[in-house]
Structure 1
Amino acid sequence: MRVIRVIADICVRDIGAAKAFYADYLGLSDEEFDLGWVARYTSPETGASVQLVTDDMTASESPTISVMVDDVEAAFADAQRRGYEIVHPLTVEAWGVRRFFLRAPDGTVVNIVQHRE
């Protein structure tokens, strides 16, 4: 497994209201997507980005970070081998990603995700 990108997941009550700060003020103006409960904003100049999340649509907990990988199945097998707590099972989500959540030893919930090619 190779990590491709790490993105902070920021819990907000209202994505539309938070957008003014993250997009307008911080300049993360490239809206990569908005599913209503999660939206990603990226800087066109630097590629820096954040995801704003109200509540995860299919998981019982929301992650603190999302880690995009090139092989989510290998990441899942390695997490199981290491005994990490799986918080959300390996799932193909309706919006086109394959992902699972695990709890890092420090308690942080991490979304391990692979996008469709």
Structure 2
Amino acid sequence: MRARRIITDLRVADLETAKGFYTDYLGLSIEEFTLGWVARYTSPDTGANLQLLTRDATAPEDPAISVLTDDVDGAYAEAQQRGFEIVHPLTNEPWGVRRFFVRAPDGTVINVVRHRD
């Protein structure tokens, strides 16, 4: 698998409460998107970003990071071939991504994702 971008997924109790700290204090002032349970914020100056989430809407566990790739189907097949635990199956989500969750050997849950064209 080729990772194009890796984004930290930070679990928070309330998006609106957390938003002020990360946008005002850390300067992540661009809200790339929000779905009510997850939102991504980016610095206009540096491109640094992170996603805040309260609870994943469709998966049984929350990811620690999201890894964007061009070939999510290939990454899914490789994860299965290597015997890694699939936490959330390969799914076309209603908000425009195709993704799955895999558990790394250390226990970290990773969201492997591709934005659909």
Give per-residue Cα distances to partners, 1:10-64, cap 9 Å, x unaligned: 0001000000011110000010001000000001111111000000000010000
Alignment correspondent of 1:45: 45
The whole-number CA distance in structure 1 between the counterparts of 2:3 and 2:48 is 16
Alignment correspondent of 2:13: 13
Alignment correspondent of 1:69: 69
**Percent of pairs with identical residues:** 68
Shift of 1:2: 1.9
Give the partner amino acid of 2:88.
H
RMSD after superposition: 0.6
TM-score (norm 1): 0.98
The whole-number CA distance in structure 2 between the counterparts of 1:98 and 1:77 is 14
Structure 1 counterpart SS, 2:94: coil
Shift of 1:9: 0.3
Alignment correspondent of 2:2: 2
The whole-number CA distance in structure 1 between the counterparts of 2:114 and 2:102 is 14
Structure 1 runs of 4+ aligned residues shifted over 2 Å read none
TM-score (norm 2): 0.98
The whole-number CA distance in structure 2 between the counterparts of 1:75 and 1:21 is 35
Q: Aligned pairs, how many?
A: 117
Q: Which runs of 5+ in 2 are unaligned?
A: none
